[in-house]
């Protein structure tokens, strides 16, 4: 993104190359990298960290679980300002950076400005216009539209971050490439299922997710056919530390109630904000991929006293309006 003074900002790669403390830092962005960097920089206690967010943090993730992550980060000291964009960055004689942001023209000095606003695919050097056919591009994302990695030109394929709708994750690109090679050269028919890929955001309070968010499920199946089991809980390791007394973790199970299968609630999404959320969601990701139902999930005996056990004991639905705060063990 071009802005006046943008050359004074650094990237998430640059932050690890600094030979001095980043000091008071302004992080521009709202995705994985922006919040992860803001989290560990806050933890270093080398200076206040402010995150400038254009709309909402982690926009593509389930809103309820994101709220818990944001609340945790703010209570731990990260300043998150939503609904603003930086207007300019000016280098002062002192060496500090003056950032103007928001419609009100707020100005604030920082030692470091880190931009983590995502990437756009650079297709200009591929000379796609020379092909005998048109490779369709999504106008919003600038990425290539594919069906099972095949573009609109049958003999041209795309994998990884350049594919519209594919998660920008290295393991995704690796598996997509492997499966494509097997289909092309080993008579395989196996394709990657992008909608059941588990992932995690390594913010100070980790976020783990697989499948559809509540909003995505409602858009796909209709609001009346979707419900959620939710729980707000205190991880065991937090109960003995005073610094966590006003904080809690959160878990959500999104279920689809299929009219053609009365009584069956298929799990279409699982989301959690907790310690070790990445490790937890990795295992449940396979279950969702294989068509897990809510009945199967709660019939499993959980391992006590783990955070992962929370998913096996959730009985309060969001639609009930009942308190989701867990009591006891």
- What letter does residue 22 receive in the DSSP assignment? -
pLDDT higher than threshold 70 for residue 256: yes
Per-residue confidence band for 324, with pLDDT thresholds at 50, 70 and 90: confident
C-beta neighbour count of 110 within 10 angstroms: 22
Query: What is the sign, positive or negative, of the torsion defined by CA atoms of 78, 82, 84, 85?
Result: positive
Within the chain, all domains assigned CATH 3.50.50.60 are found at 6-115
pLDDT tens-digit map of 85-115: 999 999 999 999 999 998 888 999 999 999 9
pLDDT higher than threshold 70 for residue 1: no
Which tokens sit at 192?
């990657």
Helix count (H) and strand count (E) of the chain?
7, 12
Q: Looking at 2, 256, 271, 304, which residue is catalytic?
A: 304
pLDDT tens-digit map of 119-158: 888 898 888 988 989 999 999 999 999 999 999 999 999 9
Per-residue confidence band for 242, with pLDDT thresholds at 50, 70 and 90: confident
Q: Evaluate whether 211 touches 268 at the Cβ level (below 8 Å).
A: yes
Q: Find the mean pLDDT for residues 225-251.
A: 92
Q: In the predicted model, what is the mean pLDDT of the chain? A: 94
Give the model's pLDDT for residue 2: 53
Domain 6-115 fold: FAD/NAD(P)-binding domain (3.50.50)
Q: Find the mean pLDDT for residues 249-254.
A: 98
Domain 198-320 fold: Enolase-like; domain 1 (3.30.390)
Q: Find the mean pLDDT for residues 208-219.
A: 97
CA distance 96 to 48: 14
pLDDT tens-digit map of 3-52: 689 999 999 999 999 999 999 999 999 999 999 999 999 999 999 999 99
Instruction: Specify the DSSP element, H or E, that contains 101.
Output: strand 97-101
pLDDT higher than threshold 70 for residue 82: yes
CB proximity list for 112: less than 8 A, separation 6 or greater: 10, 15, 18, 22, 23, 24, 25, 26, 97
pTM of the full structure: 0.91
Q: Evaluate whether 278 touches 200 at the Cβ level (below 8 Å).
A: yes
Using CA atoms of 60, 65, 69, 70 in order, give the dihedral in degrees to the nearest 10.
70
- 164: annotated active-site residue: no
> Where is pLDDT greater, at 324 or 198?
198
pLDDT higher than threshold 60 for residue 81: yes
């Amino acid at each position: 993104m071009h802005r006046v003074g943008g050359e004074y900002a650094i990237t998430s790669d640059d932050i690890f190359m600094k030979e001095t403390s980043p000091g008071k830092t302004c992080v521009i962005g709202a995705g994985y990298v922006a919040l992860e960097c803001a989290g560990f920089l806050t933890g270093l206690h080398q200076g206040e960290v402010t995150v400038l967010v254009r709309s909402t943090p982690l926009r593509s993730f389930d809103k309820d679980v994101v709220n818990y992550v944001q609340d945790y980060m703010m209570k731990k000291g990260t300043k998150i300002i939503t609904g603003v964009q930086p207007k300019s960055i000016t280098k002062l004689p002192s060496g500090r950076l003056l950032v103007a942001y928001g419609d009100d023209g707020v100005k604030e000095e920082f030692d470091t400005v880190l931009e983590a606003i995502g990437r756009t695919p650079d297709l200009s050097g591929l000379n796609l216009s020379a092909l005998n056919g048109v490779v369709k591009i999504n106008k919003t994302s600038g990425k290539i539209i594919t069906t099972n990695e095949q573009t609109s030109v049958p003999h041209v394929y795309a994998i990884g971050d350049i594919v519209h709708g594919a998660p920008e994750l290295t393991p995704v690109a690796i598996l997509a490439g492997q499966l494509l090679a097997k289909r092309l050269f080993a008579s395989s028919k196996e394709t990657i299922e992008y909608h059941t890929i588990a992932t995690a955001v390594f913010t100070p309070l980790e976020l783990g997710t697989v499948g559809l968010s509540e909003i995505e499920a409602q858009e796909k199946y209709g609001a009346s056919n979707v419900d959620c089991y939710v729980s707000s809980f205190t991880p065991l390791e937090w109960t003995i530390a005073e610094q966590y007394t006003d904080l809690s973790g959160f878990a959500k199970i999104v279920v689809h109630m299929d009219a053609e299968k009365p009584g069956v609630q298929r799990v279409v999404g699982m989301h959690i904000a907790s310690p070790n959320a990445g490790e937890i969601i990795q295992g449940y990701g396979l279950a969702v991929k294989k068509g897990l139902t809510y009945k199967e999930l709660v019939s499993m005996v959980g391992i006590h006293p783990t955070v992962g056990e929370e998913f096996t004991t959730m009985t309060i639905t969001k639609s009930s309006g009942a308190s989701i705060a867990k009591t006891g063990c």
